[in-house]
Amino acid sequence: MDMDRIRAETPGAEQVVHLNNCGAGLMPRPVLDAVIGHLRLEAAIGGYEAEAAAADALANTYGALSRLLNCRRDEIAVMENATVAWDMAFYGLPLAPGDVVLTAVSEYASNYIAYLQRAARDGIQVRVVPNDAHGQTDVAALADMIDHRVKLISITHAPTNGGLINPAAAIGQVARAAGVPYLLDACQSAGQMPLDVEAIGCDMLSATGRKFLRGPRGTGFLYVRAGMLARLDPPFLDLHAAIWQSPEHYEMLPNARRFENWENYVAGKIGLGVAVDYALDIGLDAIAGRVQGLANDLRSRMAALPGLTVQDLGLEKSGIISFSVGEVPPGEVKATMAAAGINISTSSAHSTMQDMHSRGITAMNRMGVHYYNTEAELDRFMDCLRTIPA
C-alpha cells in the first residue's frame, strides 16, 4: 500500500483528520475528477449527450461492482443510495400474513422501520435473533428459529455502530440449507473488507458508495442473484426497468436492472465505478488488514483512558469504533474534536434501538478509521481525547 500516493490523492487529508468514514469517506482525486469531469461535459454538450458519450465509463461501473462482489454484471443494479437498493429487494419480496422475517439485534433503523410498515400493512411477523456471548448474531439460535413460516433472513453485516462484524457467511450456510432467501445489508462493510457473494451465500446485497468505498454521495447498488429475480416483484417500474410492449402489456428487463429507474445521477454512477476500481487496485484484503489493525490498536489505547468506555461488540470487529466519555454528552465530544480539526460523529438509540436499549445506551460517539488514516492522525485524536474530562 503506497501511503504517500494515497495521501497525495486524498485532497481532504490536507484539511482535516477525517475519522468519520462510517458516515462518508473522503473521495480520492480520481473519483473527484471523474465526477466533476462528467458534470463539465453535461454543461458543455447536454445531459443526454454526455451520458451517451460516457457509455464505456458507465459500463465499467457494472464490471467493477461485479468484480467487487464476485458476481455477474447482470446481477447488479446501480441505485441512488443504499436505502433504495435495500428497499427494492425487501419490498419486492412477496410476503403474506403470518410470514416471518428473521433479523438481528443490531439491525439498522431504516430496515427495521420497513419491517414494521409491512407488519402493519401485510401482517408479517418480525422476529429478532438473539446475540451470542460475543454480541454478534447467534447462528445456532438462528437455525433453531427457522420453520415453514420464515420467508426471509435479513441481517446487517457491519452495523452502523457497535463495531461488530456479523458472521455473514455462517448465516448464509443456514439460509441455503433451509432454502430461505437471505438479504445482507453491506452498507458499512463494502469497501473496508472483501465481499464475495458466493462465499457469503446471500441472495441479495445492498450497499452505498459514499462510505468505505470512498465514492460520491447519491450512489448505491443492489446485487440480486439471478435465481432470485423470478421471486421478486419490484415495488415500482418505469420505462427503463420495463419495456411497454403493447397498450396492455409490458415486460421487465431480464436482469437486475429492472430495479433501476430512468433518471439517475450519471456523474455519480461513473464516480462509483472509479471508486470501486480504486479500492480493487489497492486490494480489499490489504484494506481490511490495515483498517482492522488501526482500529484494534486504537480501541486498546482508548480503553486504557480513565472514564472512557469502548462500546464495541463481536469476535471480529470492523473499523467502526463506538465509545462514551464518562457522562460527557456525545455532542460535546464531537464539538471538541471538530474544533481541533478532527471529524467524528454521534449515534443514538434511534439508529439501532434493539441493540442500544438492550445495553442501556441512549447515545454515544462513533468514528470510522480507514486505510488512508495515519498513525499520526490517530495520535492527534488521542491527544484531543485526553483533554476531555470524563
Q: Which residue ranges form the domains of the chain, and what is each CATH number?
A: 3-19+283-386 (3.90.1150.10), 29-281 (3.40.640.10)
Structure-block grid coordinates of residue 72: 455477474
pTM comes to 0.96
Q: How many whole angstroms separate alpha carbon 114 and alpha carbon 33? A: 36
Close Cβ partners of 2 (under 8 Å, ≥ 6 residues apart): none
Q: Is 136 exposed, middle or buried (0-12, 13-18, 19+ CB in 10 A)?
A: buried
pLDDT for 62 equals 98
pLDDT for 216 equals 98
Burial code (b: 16+ CB inside 10 Å, e: under 16) for 303-323 equals eebeebbbbbbbeebbbbbbb
H or E stretch covering 120: helix 109-122
pLDDT for 273 equals 98
Q: What Rg, from alpha-carbon coordinates, does the chain have?
A: 21
pLDDT for 390 equals 80
Q: Is 52 exposed, middle or buried (0-12, 13-18, 19+ CB in 10 A)?
A: exposed
pLDDT for 183 equals 98
Beta bridge partners of 325: 308
pLDDT for 186 equals 98
Q: How many whole angstroms separate alpha carbon 95 and alpha carbon 78? A: 25
Three-state SS for 272? helix
What residues in the chain have per-residue pLDDT under 70? none
